[in-house]
């Protein structure tokens, strides 16, 4: 978390290991009002309406947008289990209940963010062409190196179809779990609006990454308060305009940054609710002056995410139904 990497050492390099599934962001869906109403009634009647189909593209899966949000008192996003952070330091156990660790063949490789009880988002470079059967996710764990949990199996890896493995453009992916997480184990982070204004916003980055440049990963998750840069400042930074695309954003603070091992983890806007606005993607070193951390800009990908998460039972921000 906060410091470490090496010139353009992206966090970590992509893994190449066999096919993974893709979704086209231009796919169209039937939005017939009657079907939407029936789906809403089903969600209200039973939680089973949020259970995903067994496989993407299965004939019995409705070709609809994600289920309409319902005002269930037990389902709200962006609620931490601790006070809001100022500065940085260790995450307290259970403080960020959406924070997850991704393992490949039992080895920690990246972070991820729970956005629904059986769906997470991460960076595509973390899972690039990796078979889902090789991946597990740890949720609700603190010291990942001492954890005895085998983790939750990933059933599908949904990579952004336009991901560029050389530039890390479109560095976002969805992980679908083979089974839903227990309700007591997690709380999802909120997803952003399409047009959230982010320049100058204070945000939190967290993960099990290195705490010093070129250092080992942390045993426990760390957090750091950073500030999101304007796009003009981001493209004018040391990387140059060609490396930072409109699908990326920059964030850092003096001596605070994401680092090696934080890849795929969340950059969260804390007000009014914890909302994942960035996904740790790449950078030059860690906390180097003039070289901020670079993140996938989540609000840019919301149209694609609505397709990729169409089988997810997502939650709404707290108090959204209060007048």
pLDDT on residue 76: 82
Inter-residue contact 126 to 102 (CB < 8 Å): yes
Q: What is the mean pLDDT of residues 30-55?
A: 38
How would residue 98 be classed by pLDDT, with cut points 50, 70 and 90?
A: very high
pLDDT on residue 127: 97
pLDDT single digits (tens) 224-244: 899 999 999 999 888 888 899
Say how far apart CA 68 and CA 70 lie, in whole Å: 6
Inter-residue contact 298 to 174 (CB < 8 Å): no
The one catalytic residue in 118, 169, 171, 257 is 171
The one catalytic residue in 76, 118, 125, 262 is 125
The one catalytic residue in 169, 263, 273, 311 is 263
pLDDT on residue 209: 84
Active-site residue flag, 125: yes
pLDDT on residue 44: 37
Active-site residue flag, 162: no
Instruction: State pTM to two decimals.
Output: 0.76
Do the strands 135-139 and 107-116 form a parallel or antiparallel pair, or are they unpaired? Answer: unpaired
User: Which of 305, 308, 278, 311 lies closest to 118 in space, CA to CA?
Assistant: 311
User: Which of 168, 200, 179, 185 lies closest to 264 in space, CA to CA?
Assistant: 168
Q: Give all domains of the chain, ordered by start, each with its CATH number.
A: 80-188+302-308 (2.40.10.10), 202-299 (2.40.10.10)
Active-site residue flag, 156: no
Mean pLDDT across the chain, nearest whole number?
77
DSSP 236-261: TSTT-TTTS-TTEEEEEBTTB---TT
pLDDT single digits (tens) 115-165: 999 999 999 999 999 999 999 999 998 888 788 788 999 999 999 999 999
């Amino acid at each position: 978390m906060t410091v470490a990497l090496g010139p353009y050492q992206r966090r970590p390099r992509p893994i190449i290991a066999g096919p993974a599934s893709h979704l086209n962001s231009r796919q169209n869906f039937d939005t017939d009002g009657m079907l939407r109403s029936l789906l809403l009634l089903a969600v209200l009647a039973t939680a089973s309406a949020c259970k995903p189909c067994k496989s993407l593209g299965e004939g019995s899966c409705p070709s609809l947008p994600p289920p309409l949000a319902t005002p269930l008192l037990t389902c709200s996003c962006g609620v931490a289990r601790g006070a809001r952070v100022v500065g940085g330091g260790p995450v307290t156990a259970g403080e960020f209940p959406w924070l997850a660790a991704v393992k490949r063949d039992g080895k920690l490789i990246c972070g991820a963010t729970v956005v629904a009880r059986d769906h997470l988002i991460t960076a595509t470079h973390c899972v690039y062409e990796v078979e889902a059967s090789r991946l597990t996710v740890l949720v609700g764990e603190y010291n990942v190196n001492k954890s005895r949990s085998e983790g939750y199996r990933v059933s599908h890896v949904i990579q952004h179809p336009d991901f560029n493995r050389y530039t890390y453009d479109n560095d976002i992916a969805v992980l679908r779990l083979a089974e839903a997480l227990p309700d007591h184990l997690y709380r999802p982070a909120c997803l952003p609006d399409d047009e959230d204004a982010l320049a100058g916003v204070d945000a939190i980055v967290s993960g099990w990454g290195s705490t010093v440049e070129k250092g080992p990963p942390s045993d426990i998750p760390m957090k750091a308060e950073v500030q999101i840069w304007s796009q003009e400042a981001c493209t004018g930074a040391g990387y140059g305009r060609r490396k930072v695309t409109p699908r990326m954003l920059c964030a850092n603070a003096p001596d605070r940054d994401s680092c090696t091992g934080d890849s795929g983890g969340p950059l969260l806007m804390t007000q009014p609710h914890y909302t994942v606005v960035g996904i740790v993607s790449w950078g030059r070193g860690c906390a180097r002056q003039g070289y901020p951390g670079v993140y996938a800009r989540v609000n840019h990908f919301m149209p694609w995410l609505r397709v990729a998460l169409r089988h997810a039972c997502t939650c709404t921000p707290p108090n959204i139904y209060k007048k």
